[in-house]
Amino acid sequence: MSALEQLIEALRRLPGIGQKSAQRMAYHLLQHDRAGAQQLAQALQHASAVVGHCQRCHTFSEHALCPICSNAARDARLLCVVESPADQAAMERTGSYAGYYFVLQGRLSPLDGVRPQDIGVRELLERVSDGVVDEVILATSFTAEGEATAHVLAELLKNRGLRSTRLARGVPVGSELEYVDLGTIAHALVDRRAT
C-alpha cells in the first residue's frame, strides 16, 4: 500500500469519514497544506503519547486528575454521569453545572456485546459510595442504548440508597412546534413543569 493509500485509510478510521471524504482530506493536506499535515501528525503523535484517563472521573487527562476533578470549588454532592469526554465537554460549555463528572466511556449495547462491566459501572458504584455524593445526574443520550444505560444505572443506584435524576427532554429552545418530531413533543408533555 502506498503512503497516500495509507493516509487515506488512516483518515477513514475517523467517525463519519468515508472513502471520498478521506481522499479529499488527504489530497488537500498534501497539495495545499503540508505544514498543516505536519502539525496534525505531530499533534496526533503527542496526544496519543501523553493523554490518558483521569483516575477519578475517567475523562481524558494529561495528569492523574483532570482539571475538573482537581477543582475543590466544585460541588462534591453532585455527580453527572456522561457517556464520553465529548458529552462532558458539552455539559461544561453550558456553564450551568458546577459538580463533578463520571465518564462511562460508552453505553450499554447488548446487541454489540457491551455489558455493564465494559463501561465502568463498577468504578461508578465505587465512586458514589464515598458518602459525599447526594445526587447522581444521569446524562446519557436519549437513544435506545442511552436509555437502557440510564435505566440500569438508576436501578443500581436505587438499590444502594442513592438518589438519581435524569436530564429532562423537551422542545429545543428557538424551535417551532410544527417542525419538532412527535416523540420530542410527547416527552415534553410528560416532563412539563409549572411556570
CB atoms within 10 A of CB 71: 11
Question: Grid coordinates representing 135?
Answer: 445526587
Which pLDDT belongs to residue 71?
Answer: 97
Which pLDDT belongs to residue 178?
Answer: 80
Task: List 78's β-bridge partners, or say none.
Answer: 135
Closest CA to 7 of 50, 35, 45, 37: 37
Evaluate whether 151 touches 113 at the Cβ level (below 8 Å). Answer: no
Evaluate whether 156 touches 126 at the Cβ level (below 8 Å). Answer: no
Model confidence over 130-165: pLDDT tens digits? 889 999 999 999 888 999 999 999 999 999 999 999
Longest dimension (CA), the chain: 63
Measured CA to CA, the distance from residue 159 to residue 148 in angstroms comes to 17
- pLDDT of 195 over the 70 cut: no
What's the pTM value of the predicted model, to 2 decimals? 0.83
Evaluate whether 119 touches 106 at the Cβ level (below 8 Å). Answer: yes
Evaluate whether 107 touches 119 at the Cβ level (below 8 Å). Answer: yes
Question: Grid coordinates representing 23?
Answer: 481522499
